[in-house]
Structures are given as structure tokens and as C-alpha cells.
Amino acid sequence: MPRRFITVLRRRFPAFEQLWQRFPDNVFVIRCESDGRFVVEAINPTLAAVIGRPSEAVAGLPLGEVVPAEYLALVEGRYRACADSGEPMTYEESGGPAGAEPRIWQTLMVPAQGRSGKVDYILGISRDITALRKAEAYLRDANAALERRVAERTAELECANARLTELATRDGLTGLYNRRHLFELATREFRRVVRTGQPLAVLMLDLDHFKDINDRFGHAAGDQVLRALSHVFQTALRQTDLIGRYGGEEFLVLLPDTDAREAEHIADRLRESCATVEHRWNHQTFQCTLSIGIAHYDAERDDGLDTLLQRADHALLRAKAAGRNCLVIGG
């Protein structure tokens, strides 16, 4: 029998008595009476301190005289379930005296069967896990806050990276690809057509008498024209075409998979749309025309991107010499 057993243990083994006196969790032994009632057989000093009564004063009392009335039905229900099932049970509960901070308890109950097989005693250990649960909740919150912060920082970094890529690849004034990045893309495109043998047209665009615009209206007006025309060019081209700012008022366009007739047609569309844009500056309006040199990839002649660009450049010079606002196809 547990009481006898515990009493014997405590008397016979000083080490067990030490353990019983010092054990930091609550230990209790409940006797199950044959009429279904429960009696407190023994509680250790830790549990005695929690309920505020000496162990000796509680031993032998019916459960109803030890457990506060508001918890009695709940506690009895648990003991009954353990006794009826004959199986160990664990549960968690919160409670405590009114006005005090509620505590959370984790309890393990083990039924002890007598010779008849009936459960005579329930041995229990109950641990105050309030601090543990609080620490877990704190860690959960801290973790969630950290995850939120990491997500925010990742979004900020992605934004900054996108901005850096933008700065590294785009021309600050027009928003078109800058010369360096355009060369990278053009080189890639050139390698592709060398491999596939597909057509590739190159247009070298140069605004006519742009210096006059700067001289007449000022540099800021010139900048406005460059921005406006860049937008016009970009909208006139297909998604697959590449356009970038090649120099001051010079632009390079690559037209992949475009035959000679189509390239000429696109070039003329660019030339015309440029010429028809009306620019306004200080209550004055003016137009700006465009000369274009065209070159087509020729596997026999173009062993590198340079020669193809050179041929487009020569064609552009001829367009200028021919009076501007026109296009010339390079030989």
C-alpha cells in the first residue's frame, strides 16, 4: 500500500526521506475508497507549502476538505477517470487563489492496483510550468517578430538590389539601357545569331542638329527632348527589340529576327515618329529630326559585333551627308 510503502521508505531510507523533503515538484498519494470517495493519503512538503497547510494536517482527510470547493468536481473527475481506466494520465490545468497570478500545472497520475486488480491508490506528481509556458510564449512572440523583421529586411534588400541593377544597367537621363549594358546584350544577341543563322538588323540613330537645340533653348530643354524621344522610340519598338543610349544624342537599336524589308519599315517608323513630335519649351515649340544607319548581320563579313556596328555607323554618316532626316542601309 502506498502509505505504508512511503512511510516505510521514509523511515528506512534516509536518502528517500531527503528526497521526499526536498523534491521540488508536488507529490501526492490519493486513496480510492470502495464507496467512490477519495482521501488524501500523503502530500510532500512542496505541495503542503502550495496549499498552505502542513502535510501531517492534511494526511487522512477526505478530498473535499483539502481541495477548494470550486475545483473539487474537476479534481474528483480526473481521479475517477484515472481509477476507472487503470492507466496513467497526464493533464495540464491553470488556476490558483483569486487575486493571485494564475499558475499552470502539469500533472502525471499513475494508478496503483491492489491484489484484487482494483485501483486502490493514485500516485501523482504535479509541476508548476508557468515559467516554462511564459518563456515559450515569449520565444514564440520573439520568433514571430524576428521573422517579420527578416521578411521586412529581405524586401528592403530586394528593393535595393533592384535599384542597384537599375542603376547599373540603365541610363540615368532616358531610362534606356546604358552603353555598357547594351553592349553586353548586343554581344549575347550577336552570339545567338552566329549560332542560329537567324537575321539581325542594327539601327544607329542620331538626332539631327541637336547642338542647335541646346544652343537655342538650353541644356535642360535638350535633356527634355532626349527623354521624350527615348519614350517615343521605346513605344514604337517591340518587346523583343533592344534599344539603348549609345552616346549623347545617339541610340542603338537591335532588331532580332527581322529581315531587311521589315527593318527598313521599323526604321522609317522611328524616323517619322521622331520628326512629328512637337516639343515645347518656354512657350516655343520645335521639332527634332533623326538620321538612321542600318546594317544587317552578314555571316560572311561580320566576324564580330564591331564590324556590324561599324557598318551601321558608316550608313549613319551617309544619312547625315545625304541631308539628315532619312535612313541609309549599309552595304
Ligand X SMILES: Nc1nc2c(ncn2[C@@H]2O[C@H](COP(=O)(O)OP(=O)(O)OP(=O)(O)O)[C@@H](O)[C@H]2O)c(=O)[nH]1
Instruction: Draw the binding track, 169-198, toward ligand X (x: CB under 6 A; -: no contact).
Output: ----x-------------------------
Kindly state the smallest distance separating residue 195's Cβ from ligand X, in Å. Answer: 35
Q: Pick between residue 17 and residue 223 the one whose CB is nearest to ligand X.
A: 223
172: nearest Cα among 238, 245, 63, 221: 245
Binding mask 258-297 for ligand X (x = CB under 6 A): ----------------------------------------
Contact 9, 110 (CB under 8 A): no
Instruction: Provide the Cα torsion 49, 52, 54, 60; round to 10°.
Output: -110
> Site for ligand X (CB under 6 A): which residue of 120, 241, 249, 313?
249
Which of 240, 219, 229, 254 is CA-nearest to residue 174? 229
Classified as helix, coil or strand, 96 is: coil
- Give the distance, in angstroms, between the CA of residue 54 and the centroid of all CA atoms in the same chain: 57
Among 209, 227, 231, 314, binds ligand X (CB under 6 A): 209
E strands, 1-73, are 26-32, 38-43
User: Which C-beta is closer to ligand X: that of 209 or that of 279?
Assistant: 209
- Which CB sits closer to ligand X, 231 or 324? 324
Q: In whole angstroms, how close is the CB of 272 to ligand X at the nearest point?
A: 17
What mask of x and - would describe binding to ligand X in positions 216 to 235, judged by CB under 6 A?
---x--xx--x---------
User: To 5 degrees, how large is the angle CA 279–CA 284–CA 286?
Assistant: 40
**Phi, psi (rounded to 5 degrees) for 155:** -65, -40
DSSP string, 56-80: HHHTT-BGGGTS-HHHHHHHHHHHH
Q: Of the candidates 114, 248, 304, 331, which one interacts with ligand X according to CB under 6 A?
A: 248
Least separation in angstroms between residue 311's CB and ligand X is 19
Task: Report how far residue 27's alpha carbon sits from residue 48's, in angstroms, rounded to the nearest whole number.
Answer: 9
As measured in angstroms, the least distance from the Cβ of 209 to ligand X is 5
Question: Would you say 308 and 293 are in contact if contact means Cβ atoms under 8 Å apart?
Answer: no
Taking the least distance from each CB to ligand X, the nearer of 27 and 267 is: 267
- The one catalytic residue in 87, 249, 262, 264 is 249
> CB 232 → ligand X: shortest distance, Å?
16
Q: Please, which residue, 6 or 225, has the CB nearer to ligand X?
A: 225
Helix (H) or strand (E) holding 243: strand 242-245
- Binding range to ligand X, per CB under 6 A, among 102-110, 187-195, 200-208, 269-277: 200-208
**Can you read off the three cell numbers belonging to residue 84?**
476507472
138: which 3 cell numbers?
515569449
Does position 207 interact with ligand X (CB under 6 A)? The reply is yes
Cα separation values, 308 from 107, 250, 276, Å:
84, 16, 30
Q: Which of 118, 211, 265, 280 binds ligand X (CB under 6 A)?
A: 211
Q: Is 189 one of the annotated active-site residues of the chain?
A: no
Residues that bind ligand X (CB under 6 A): 173, 206-211, 214, 219, 222-223, 226, 248-249, 320, 324
Catalytic positions are 249
